[in-house]
């Protein structure tokens, strides 16, 4: 591994990020969300015709990294977290996530599109999960490549990961999402997630801005994602 990436990672709920992999001179607003797995439907999520699940294996790291990069490189999170806009950053993220002591293969999935067996399979979605102490599952990244969006695949990925958390004995699942990503926030809410806190992270170092964590709806002035300090 390149010595540049031998330093600790910032674990950010729905993202694991490298120090120095942030856009400088910015701070961004994040929602911390959670769902009670005992109160939601955890039936197997249906997929549109031609799509199938591929369970985690270490040899799939590169395929997960490629999907992550294709999903985020031109999106909001790719602008906020520069590591997600670079294939090498995505490779290192997948390696670090999968090497975590409580990495959860049952909550880590690849989505593949193959309408006919004679056609080459196309990887189009990725999600990773980690079990944390206290019976909490943590979603790391949810990525759907642009040409396969609008089909409910992101929601299916999240539900599949939630199944894995529940089967591993977790009662809660958590994630963080950039507040300006309203489509993602709405999707998580439709699955039963609720915002439990609002915080701001320094883009330069990834740390939470001192005093910024607050309950949803609390009045506080700060800078949203993408706005200069």
Structural domains present in the chain: 3-202 (3.40.630.30)
Low-confidence ranges of the chain (pLDDT < 50): 1-25, 204-206, 219-229
Counts for the chain of helices (H) and strands (E), in that order: 5, 9
What's the chain's average pLDDT? 83
The pTM score is 0.81
Query: What percent of the chain has pLDDT above 90?
Result: 67
pLDDT at 121: 93
pLDDT at 193: 98
pLDDT at 110: 98
pLDDT at 77: 85
């Amino acid at each position: 591994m390149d010595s540049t990436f031998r330093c600790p990672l910032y674990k950010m709920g729905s993202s694991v990020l490298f120090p120095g992999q942030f856009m400088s001179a910015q701070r961004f607003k994040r929602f911390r969300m959670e769902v009670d797995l005992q109160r939601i439907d955890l039936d197997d999520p249906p997929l549109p015709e031609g799509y199938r699940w591929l369970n985690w294996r270490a040899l799939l790291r590169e395929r997960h990294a490629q999907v992550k990069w294709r999903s985020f490189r031109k999106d909001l999170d790719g602008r906020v977290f520069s590591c997600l806009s670079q294939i090498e950053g995505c490779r290192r993220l997948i390696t670090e996530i999968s090497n975590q002591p409580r990495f959860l293969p049952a909550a880590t999935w690849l989505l593949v599109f193959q309408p006919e067996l004679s056609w080459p399979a196309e990887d189009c979605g990725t999600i990773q999960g980690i079990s944390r102490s206290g019976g909490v599952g943590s979603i790391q990244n949810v990525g759907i490549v642009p040409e396969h969006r609008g089909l409910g695949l992101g929601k299916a990925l999240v539900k599949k990961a939630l199944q894995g958390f529940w089967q591993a004995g977790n009662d809660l699942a958590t994630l963080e999402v950039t507040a300006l990503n309203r489509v993602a926030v709405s999707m998580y809410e439709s699955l039963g997630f609720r915002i439990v806190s609002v915080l701001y992270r320094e883009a330069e170092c990834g740390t939470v801005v001192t005093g910024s964590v607050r309950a949803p709806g609390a009045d506080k002035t700060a800078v949203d994602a993408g706005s200069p300090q």
